[in-house]
Structure 1
Amino acid sequence: MNYRQMAVFLVICGLQILVGNWVGAKGYVSGAAAAAFVESIPGLLVLLAIIVGGVAVAHFIPWKGLPAVAYIVTLGCIVTIPGFPGSEMLTAYVSKISFIGLCTPILAYAGLAVGKDIDALKSQGWKIVVVGLFVFVGTFIGSAIIAEIVLRMMN
């Protein structure tokens, strides 16, 4: 993927996130949804800046062993560390974006990517369904155990 395609992809995802945030607001016909739409624009710009910064770091780092997503996540973690200059402001902006509005385009593109390789999925057979079920159940039980331990520690 070249940089022009990536820029177009980011703009499309950004618009989808804004629409998802607007629809996800309570009563999307009311003024509350319009306010949620406008309030989410700075947060979206922050997220897009973090993405562009992470891709730039991945491009300019001499070691090409890590994918760009690792640099994006690392940069996002660094700029939101309490005490980092402007982290409170960035966190306040990004908190205006709903999680569902953010995940919807990502999951849609992931579904398209899997659908594109449906023959590879078919070649796995029924075994991939069993593995998927074990992964889902294991993740759920592991999360529940961790949550239970943390809640018991907090009383």
Structure 2
Amino acid sequence: MRSLDLKKYVLYFILMSITGIIVLAGQALGMHKQFLGAIPGMFLIISLALGCFAVKDAFPKFPLPAYALATIVGMLVSIPAFSISKLFVPQIGTVEFMPLCTPMLAFAGISVGNKIEELKAMSWKIVIIAIVVFTSIFFACALISQTVLKIQGVI
């Protein structure tokens, strides 16, 4: 277990807060949703993300990356069977999903851009892997949609 660098987490908090303000501004301007009312939800999202970064830094051999851990923790705190969801879901529900996608995709692009040499080393094999993954996801989504629509009697 490693000690945590407080300066790094203050910087993370500042950067995530700036991103959060931009997300909430986009939500308010583009979707005509509340800005001030969504601040507690954004603060909870930032807190969960910082906690996941801290776990990953404290336990470097932890098998999951921080973003995967954050996804799992986010799902767990939103399950209605857990009493903690009564605190998280109403607050986090005030933050719209679509405005959050833009910075997440931008950061994902930056992280891939930092590994461009590794991607070049994979050469043509990465194209085959991408085609298989995209095709599998497409058909899985289509199957799930078909099943749900049939159950609902829409089709």
**TM-score scaled by length of structure 2:** 0.72
Cα distance in 1 for partners of 2:132, 2:116 equals 21
Q: Structure 2: where are the runs of 5+ without partners? A: none
Match of 2:12 among 3, 6, 29: 6
Q: Which moved more, 1:106-115 or 1:84-93?
A: 84-93
**Partners of 1:118 and 1:62 in 2: how far apart?**
23
Which residue type is aligned with residue 111 of structure 1? G
* Larger mean Cα displacement after TM superposition, 59-68 or 117-126: 59-68
2:101 aligns to what?
Answer: 103
1:30 maps to none
Name the counterpart of 1:75: 73
Shift in Å, 1:91: 1.4
1:71 to 1:125, Cα distance in 2 relative to 1, 3 A: closer
C-alpha RMSD of the superposition: 3.0
Tell me the distance in 2 between the aligned counterparts of 1:71 and 1:141: 26
Q: Secondary structure at the match of 2:34?
A: helix
- CA shift at 1:69, angstroms? 3.3
In the TM superposition, 1:76-95 aligns within 5 A as: 76-85=74-83, 87-95=85-93
Which SS does the other structure have where 2:94 is aligned? Answer: coil
SS in structure 2 of the partner of residue 81 of structure 1? coil
Deviation string 1:104-144 (CA, Å, 9 cap, x unpaired) is: 11111111222233343334334423432332122011111
Cα distance change on mapping 1:64 and 1:134 into 2, 3 Å: closer
2:46 equivalent to 1:48? yes
Q: Which residue of 2 aligns with 1:16?
A: 22
Q: Displacement of 1:72 after TM fit?
A: 2.5
Percent identity of equivalent pairs: 33
Shift of residue 86, structure 1, vs aligned partner: 5.0
1:41-86 CA distance string (max 9 Å, x none): 1211121122233334445669734433344333323322214335
Q: Measured at CA, do residues 58 and 140 of structure 1 come closer, stay the same or move farther in structure 2, by a change above 3 Å? A: same
**Partners in 1 of 2:148 and 2:136 — Cα distance?**
18
Match of 2:145 in 1: 147
The more displaced of 92-101 and 58-67 is 58-67
Q: Retained in 2: the 8 A contact 1:24–1:98? A: no
Contact 2:13 2:46 in 1 (8 A): no
User: Could you state the TM-score of these two structures normalised by the residue count of structure 1?
Assistant: 0.72
